[in-house]
Amino acid sequence: MTALYILIPVALLLVIFAVWLFFWAVDSGQYDDLDSPAHRILFDDDDPRHQAAVKQAKHEPTVKDHD
């Protein structure tokens, strides 16, 4: 019975910490983009078309090849 006097407050502190950690992760943007990491593994990093798409997604100017 005396162990409950220790375990219940410890459990409540862990729950409060887990809830705080979840809200911190949401506020810091950890869950903003859930689809890109799953699709990123499908592309070859050395492919020039993939690099151009990454630059375009980041709003960086792309270098166009001249004929």
Handedness of CA 44, 28, 20, 34 (dihedral sign): negative
Q: Give the pLDDT confidence of 3-38 residue by residue, as tens digits.
A: 999 999 999 999 999 999 999 999 998 888 777 777
In contact, 51 and 43? CB cutoff 8 Å = no
Q: Is the pLDDT of residue 61 over 90?
A: no
Q: Is the pLDDT of residue 62 over 70?
A: no
